[in-house]
Chain A
Amino acid sequence: MYEAVHAHPDGDATVARYARTAASYGFDGVVVRNHGDARTEYDAGRIREETGIDVVRGMEIRAEDPSQASGYVGNYRGDHTLLLVHGGTNAMNRFAVEQDRVDVLAHPMRDDGDVNHVLAKAAVENGVRLEFDLSRVCRLSGGGRVQALRGLTKLAELVDQFDVPYVVSVDPTSHLHLRAPRELAAVGETIGLGAKRIREGLAEWGRLADRNRERQSESFIEPGVRRGRYEEVDR
C-alpha cells in the first residue's frame, strides 16, 4: 500500500523522513506529490535501500486555468511516473478527467469542486483515478469535516455507479499526518466508505506506478507490444 505525500518545501518533512515513518507504519511505498512550484530533490535508490520504501516520482499540477495546466502536463509527463492534477474547481476537475495523460485527479470535492455523472464517465474513459481525500476527515472537526464527508459520500456513490477507478490518500503535509493503513481502514469503515475501499485505494497508487514505469521503460512500444529478447539467427 502506498501513500501520496507533500515533501519539503511543499510540506514539513523530507522524503527520507516520510519513507522512514511510512516503513514503520506498514506502507510499501510513497508517492511524492509536490506541487509544481515547490519541487524537491531526493535520492530514491538510497531511500529504498535504507527503508525498503519504494519512492515514486510524481507531481501535482496546480494551475490557474485548463490551458496553463495543459502546458504543464505536456512539460512534466515525460519525466514523472505519476501526474496528478490539483482539483477543487469545476474547470480543473473537467480538464483532468478529459486528459488521458493525467493519472489522478486530486481532491476533486475540495473548495468549490464537484463531480457529476459526466465527469465520472469521462474519468472511466480516460483512466483518470479520482482521489478520496481523507485529509479533512482526519484533521478537521465540525463544519469543515461535515462538508468533506458529504463530498466523499457523493464521490463514493458515483464511483460505485460507474465503476470509476480511484485512489485514497490523507494528503499529508507532514510525517505527523501519516496514518497507518489499518487506521485509515477503520476510519473508512466508520464514515461509511468501507475498509475494503480504503485498502484498494491505497494499493491503487502502487499498481498505477508499476503500470507507468512499464510504459515509460525502454522496451515498451505500445500496449501489448514490447521489445523482447530474440535469438540470434545464423545466416
Chain B
Amino acid sequence: MKHLPKHLRPRYRYLAVELASTPDASLSRRSFQRELWYAAGNLLGDPGSADADCTVVRFEFSDGAGEAIVRARHGHADAARAALACVASVDGHDLGVVVRGISGTIRACEEKYLGRPRQPSAQRTVAFEGGEVPAVERNGVLDVRVDDRYVGATNTDFE
C-alpha cells in the first residue's frame, strides 16, 4: 500500500530503556517484547495498549545487562513508561527496567541516552558469609552466587 503523506503519519516517541538482570539471564527481543505487551495489556487494557503501541524497535542484551528502544504513540509515552515499570521478570529472571530518556527519533534516542561503554564481565571468587563463593563482576558491581540465586553486591562490600 502506498505510504501515508508525512503530515498524516502517526507521531512517535522513542523511549531509551536500560535493562538489568542476573548474569545467567539470556533475553531475546522476542521474549522482552512479549512480556512488555503482556504488561501493557494487563495494566492499560486492550484499548490503552493499542494507543501506547510499545513496540520494541532496538534490542541488545548480553551478560545480564542490555538496552532497548521502545516506541510509543505521541501523547501516550507515560502510559508506555508505566507498562515498562510493570515488566517484573522475563523467562523467570527478575528484570530491572529504567527509562533513560525519551526522543522523537530513534537516532537521537540512541545518541543521547544509549550506548554507554560497558566492561566485559569477569569471574571472581569472593568471601561471602563465611564461605568462598563464585561471583560475576562488571563495572564495580558483583552478582554473588548464593545457593541457587544471585545476590547483588558492589566492590565496597568486599574491601
Contact = CB atoms under 8 A, between A and B. Distances in A.
Nearest to A135: B88
B118 to A, nearest CB: 14
A176 B20 contact: yes
Contacts of B151: 8, 12-14
Interface in B99-120: 99
Contacts of B149: 12
Contacts of B95: 176
Given A21-B96, A176-B96, A16 B156 contact: yes
Chain A interface size, as a band, is: 35 or more
Given A183-B99, A186-B79, A16 B153 contact: yes
A14 B38 CA distance: 31
A17 B38 contact: no
B132 interface: no
B81 interface: yes
Contact of B88 (A8, A47, A139, A175): A139
Interface in A9-60: 12-14, 16-18, 20-21, 24-25, 43, 46-47, 50
Contacts of A43: 156
A17 B94 contact: no
Contacts of B32: none
B75 interface: no
Contacts of B78: 186, 189-190
Contacts of B94: 174, 176-177
